[in-house]
Amino acid sequence: MYEYRRRVPTNLRQYFSRTASGRLMTEWKKALITTVEAEARKRWYVENERFEAALTLAELLRTNPEDAPASAHIARAKELVRQFGVNPDDAPTLGPQATDADIEVFRAKSRAWNAKVSEFTDSLIDMLEDLTEDREQQQRDYDSGRWGQPGYVNPRRGLDARDRHLDVALQIISGEVIPPAKHVWRDAVELYIATNKRETNREVEKARRWEVKTRNLLEKFGYAMGGMNKPLDEMERTQIINWLWREYPAAPTRNRYINTFSAVMNCWNRETKEQIYNPFSGLSNKQHEKEEGLTRRSFKPTEWFAYLDAVETSQNIEIKIVGLLMLFTGCRLNEAAGLEV
């Protein structure tokens, strides 16, 4: 029987979900429930995608928590609440057909539940107050004589992004409705990649290459617009146009990338209830691509032999093979690069 096993890096364990017993996860394990190697490879790839996604999120929370999507903090908060047994969904309930005995049991369970919730709430509040206490400002106030004066309030600082899930957990157990997060470019990117991978069958290696290439492109655009946490409803069409025409002056390349960016927004509008204006709509211009295509020409004989000499002297065997295939067959780059030896 095959199984999937990966070690969780020590410095990232606190950012992974806890085990059923509440301990830090040291190893990611999953039974693949098959003895057939071909089937095990397919299931291994699916499980590996889940692990890599969790690993990427953990690394993001450790190094750049400000870039983490709101959904990441909500997921960690839910895990924390579940771990301590105070998830509101698990609160004791009383059915309409309850007997007097059932009511007494419900009352006892409710008292125990309320005590547990109250204890956990107090612990969270104490933790949040400790994390947001501005000791440096307090020391300055003490040195200047302001500390302890009538009406003095202990100074506070903003909650660090790494601890944002604690505030969300407090909202969950208090029964408050979690305010809808302002959805950002990173949320749309992750949804698009996950949806595309689910709907498109690719070989394992091609799927990996597609994700790396697509993620690099979408992150390049995101950081050019001000960061991956750029709210979707604040995307400025003029800024997008200026960046696209400056970054990709060739119409064929620009159109291809515009279609990818537009697909991200269309996927978001298709898969979620929140509808966002697509700022890429109508930017692709086939006429420009056609006009530029008319200026293309074949190699002159001197250029052809210069290309051949350059390819044959290349030390990279893959570039050499791809170059020769293109030169002698006239195929496109993506067709030659897509072949397998």
| Span 154-205, pLDDT tens digits | 888 888 777 777 788 888 777 664 544 567 898 899 889 988 988 888 888 8
Please, which contacts does 244-252 make with residues 24 or more away whose CB atoms are closer than 8 Å?
A: 244/283, 250/292, 251/285, 251/288, 251/289, 251/291, 251/292, 252/289, 252/292, 252/293
Helices (H) and strands (E) in the chain, counts: 13, 2
Q: Is 27 helix (H, G, I), strand (E, B) or coil?
A: strand
Please name the residue that has the structure tokens 């949040």: 128
- The pLDDT, as a whole number, for residue 306 is 93
pLDDT < 70 stretches in the chain: 18-22, 68-72, 75, 79, 83, 175-182, 292-296, 341
At 87 the pLDDT is: 77
* pLDDT at residue 80 in the model: 74
pLDDT at 69: 66
Structure tokens at 24: 């830090």
Question: Tell me, what amino acid is at 313?
Answer: T
Average pLDDT of the chain is 83
What's the pLDDT score for residue 179? 47
pLDDT value of residue 159: 81
CA distances from residue 210 to 202, 266, 293 in whole angstroms, order as listed: 9, 19, 26
